[in-house]
Structure formats: structure tokens, C-alpha cells
Structure 1
Amino acid sequence: MFKILASTALVALALGVAPHAKAAPVSLGDAYVGGNDHGYGDVIGTSVFDTTGATVTRSGTHLIVTIATNFAGAPGSAAAEGTTYGDLLLSANWSPTGAAPYTSDVYAAGDWTYAVKATGPNAGDIYRTDTGSVVMSTAPAGYIWRDGQATGWTGGTKVGDGSFTVGAGTLTFDFDASATGFLFGGTGFDFALSWAMSCANDAFQGQVGTGGGPNVPEPASVGLLLAALGGLAFARKRS
């Protein structure tokens, strides 16, 4: 038994993967305004809609995305003006229209390939946007909102479990990203994200990652891997 465990550990070392390794948090600032701001700029309405950034951490196959926003806890209150949380939308790459702060950028079909639910019984679970339809920004009659922005997805194919929690000034999506192709190595990740409340009075988007690209073992690592696999087979024969 000890030999099998030791060989398994050697395989992990050869691949440069530490079991349950956790990446250092990566921060993303708010450099996105988006189209149709109706002259208000980054935030339409009061400061309750202000979103200032996001922090992303990887733990095993899970990505933990924490959105910093004054809107946390606001739905249901008079300040939210009848609006609610939007889903976290994801894709491999981000290609907004124009240059920062992207004041002419609006949603186009195919922009987002995954959605992490923020409401309902499946809040926190991640879905592929291969079926269903996009949810566009809206607000109750009589209010101005940032129209033309995607704020959620209905339907889709579930590809992972997760959770959604509301903290003091934060919204946290913690979900299994193993089916997305956003992960590499033991702690690496790279993907684009979009989040906004249902009216998109402050839309937040950007690309975030650890750098380094997909993990490809070096020749020496490949040799270690082959040796480890050989040791594992030998240990099984002896057990």
C-alpha cells in the first residue's frame, strides 16, 4: 500500500501537480463601462449599483470568483429598485468592441459559453450555454438601465456543481470548472468573465488568469512520469 501511494505521489510531482493545491488570488479591476450608459458613465443610478472588481482563486478543480459590489444584499430592498442578481457568465476569451472602457460594447451571440446561476434552486451550479437563451438587462417601468447587456442564461446543460453566497459587499461563486477548459496545471487558470445585476447599471467584464498557459511537461518531467508509472505497476504486482 505504501509503495502504491508513493508512486502516485511521484506521478503528481512529475506533472507538477500538487493534490488540492490552491492558487494565489488574482484580482481584476473595473475597467469596463459597456454600451448604452445613457450619459451616466460607469454607474447608472445610485452607488448601490457600484461594482469595483473581482478576485479569482482556484482550489483543485474549483474556481472561486468573488465579485466586490455594493449590490450584495440589496435585492428585495427599495434601493435595488426591483432588480436582482445576474448570473456569472464565462468564456475562454474576451473580445469587447472598441478600446477601454468599451463604451460601445453590447452583447453579441456567442460571447459567453458558460453561466453560473445566481438565483433559484441551482444557484452556484455551472451550465454550458448550448441550449436555452440569454437573459438581457432590463428594469421595471419608469427606470433607466444599461440595455443591451447579457445578465444571465435560461436553460443550458449542467456541467458542474457549485454554490453562491452573499457576503458583506461581496458575491461569491464557487463552482467545479473541470469541464470548461479554463484550468491548466495544478493551479493555473485563464478565462473571461462578465457579471451585472439584472439592470446592468454597472456591468463588469474582463479577462483573468495566472499566466503561463496550458501545462506541458518538460522532457525531464516526462521521464519522471514514465518512471513513476513503471514504479506504480511494479508496486501493484508486488502487493
Structure 2
Amino acid sequence: MLAAFLVCLSGASALSINNSELQGLSWSFTSDPSNDAASSSGTSYETFGMGSAIKNGFLYVVVQTNFPEAGGVGSDSYTSVTHFSPGDLYVNVGGSFQNGGGSIYGLATTTHANVVQQAYSGNWSTFQSGKLYQNAVFATGTFEQYQLAHPNYKPDDGDGNNRVNSYPTLLRGGNQVAGDISGVLYRAASNSNWAYEIIYKISLGALGLTGGSKDPLTQLFWVMECGNDGVEHFVKSGTDPVVPEPTTLALMVAGIGALAAKRRRA
């Protein structure tokens, strides 16, 4: 595996994601069908699944894919040869991109230095890799004929099967969350079924969440810029595995021990 890297950003604390902290997580996963990527480039545009876990006030998200951090070269509705970037993480607290509603956030995977500029009208903004943006606006996939190849593809993109690729791919606009501490790690995977894992780490407080049962349903979605193969996952209120902080765990153990001792004396 690649060594974890440190995301250093101006105006915010630096956040590292290291392999040791990931080893203690209990993940809830949603798998994505294999061999469903609409591409003539083999399996390089394939996604395999997405998972989430909660620990110490942070939401961790993992995307399993063959799509490299450097992006890929292919064709779309705009040009025969172009460069595609990895997508950004779409987060909707209390709604979904298919049905609307909710509070929309985006966590930038890259700075968008290599996006398909000609595919988008108006001004295009750059973003800070590893940072969280609220009131997020997303561009959609540039491979507009995707549903012609996969009319029954799941998850549905919510546009009524109108043959237009409506998956949220890249952040187009939004405001950086003040005081946010988040990060992203793109690493080689040890699993032979997929080549890479993209790890995101987001403060629950920045999303207005606590990790408890009263949190609204939160939709997570990821797809590369062209929109060839996406994966969707929901963080279910109070059901994702929650790993308590070490101090909390120690207090719990001490409390159980004291209760057991009291019962023995009774």
C-alpha cells in the first residue's frame, strides 16, 4: 500500500489519514455490480463498492475503484480524446440527488486542475483537495450516452431515463466549511478485485450530525468525472458501526467492572 499522506491546507488545521487508524474501523458496505462500467478501456472505469464508519466524531468513507488518482484518457460527448479526473465525494444530509431536498456537501478529491473545461459552460472554480464545501453545486457526467449502454443501471440517476448522464461528479460551486477539519487519502489496495481505495474523513459536526439515532439519513455518492460507473451508499441513522473514543471505552470497562464487583459483594 502507498504510505498515507498529509493534507496541508491554508486557513485550516492539517489532517492526516494514516493506515493505523483505519485498521480499527468497523465498516458498513454497499457493493456495486462488477463489469457494469460503460467504457472501451476495460475495467479501469469500474467501481466496486462504498463503505462508511464512525469513530471519534468523524465519518470515514471508502470508495473501491480501479480509477487512478491521475485520472484517465477517453472520449465523451464533447471530444474524441480528453482527460477525466476522479470525482468528488457527494454528501446529502436528509435528501438525495435523485429526489432533491437535504443539505448538500462536497469533499474535493483533487484541485480540478485537469477537468474537461470545454464540457462546462461559465466559469470553473478550483477547489482545495481534502476540504469540505457546503451549499455544494455539482457538475454532471460528460458521458451523456451512458444510459444507452446501461438503461437499467443502478443507482438510478433520477432524471427519468432521459438518456442524459445526471450523476453528480465534480464540485462546481460551494462555500468552504469554516473551521472544517477533513481529508482524503488515495491509496493502492491490497485486494486483487480493485486497484485503489479512496478514503475520506469528515467531521460529523461539520455536517450537523452526531452519529446518533436521531441523525437524518445521509446519502453518499461517488463517480469519476465522465460518469461511467458510480456507487451509492447511505449512512443509516444510528446503525453504522460506532467505535467509541479510547477514554470513553476505558470508562465503560471500568463501569462494568465496578458493577460486577458490587454484585459480588451483594
Q: Give TM class, smaller chain.
A: 0.5 to 0.7
**Aligned pair in 2 of structure 1 residues 44, 112: CA closer, same or farther (>3 Å)?**
farther
Give the equivalent residue in structure 2 for 1:43.
Answer: 37
* Paired AA for residue 232 in structure 2: Q
Give the equivalent residue in structure 1 for 2:186.
Answer: 166
CA distance in 2, matches of 1:30, 1:88: 16
1:148 and 2:173 are equivalent in the alignment: no
Gaps of 5+ in 1: 1-19, 34-40, 97-106, 214-239
**Aligned pair in 2 of structure 1 residues 164, 189: CA closer, same or farther (>3 Å)?**
farther
Give the equivalent residue in structure 1 for 2:227.
Answer: 200
Aligned residue among 112, 126, 130 for 2:132: 126
Which protein shows a greater Rg?
A: 1
Give the equivalent residue in structure 2 for 1:230.
Answer: none
CA distance in 2, matches of 1:109, 1:189: 14
Question: By how many angstroms is 1:182 displaced?
Answer: 3.3
Give the equivalent residue in structure 2 for 1:157.
Answer: 175
Q: Identity across aligned pairs (percent)? A: 22
* Paired AA for residue 88 in structure 1: L
Question: TM-score, normalising length from structure 2?
Answer: 0.53
CA RMSD after TM alignment: 3.6
Question: By how many angstroms is 1:78 displaced?
Answer: 7.0
Give the aligned length: 169
Aligned residue among 37, 53, 67 for 1:71: 67
Gaps of 5+ in 2: 1-20, 76-80, 112-126, 148-164, 189-195, 241-266
Question: By how many angstroms is 1:199 displaced?
Answer: 0.8
**Aligned pair in 2 of structure 1 residues 27, 74: CA closer, same or farther (>3 Å)?**
same
Question: TM-score, normalising length from structure 1?
Answer: 0.58
**Aligned pair in 2 of structure 1 residues 108, 74: CA closer, same or farther (>3 Å)?**
farther
Deviations 1:135-185 (A, max 9, x none): 11115xxx9546221112223122223222211111111122312133334
Give the equivalent residue in structure 2 for 1:176.
Answer: 203
Question: By how many angstroms is 1:197 displaced?
Answer: 0.1
**Aligned pair in 2 of structure 1 residues 112, 85: CA closer, same or farther (>3 Å)?**
farther
CA distance in 1, matches of 2:130, 2:141: 20
C-alpha contact (below 8 Å) 1:138/1:145 kept by paired residues = no
**Aligned pair in 2 of structure 1 residues 72, 177: CA closer, same or farther (>3 Å)?**
farther
C-alpha contact (below 8 Å) 1:190/1:208 kept by paired residues = yes
Q: Secondary structure at the match of 1:167?
A: strand
Question: By how many angstroms is 1:28 displaced?
Answer: 1.8
Bigger mean CA offset, 193-202 vs 85-94: 85-94
**Aligned pair in 2 of structure 1 residues 166, 23: CA closer, same or farther (>3 Å)?**
closer
**Aligned pair in 2 of structure 1 residues 190, 137: CA closer, same or farther (>3 Å)?**
same
Q: Secondary structure at the match of 1:42?
A: coil
For CA contacts below 8 A with separation 6 or more, give which structure has more relative contact order: 1
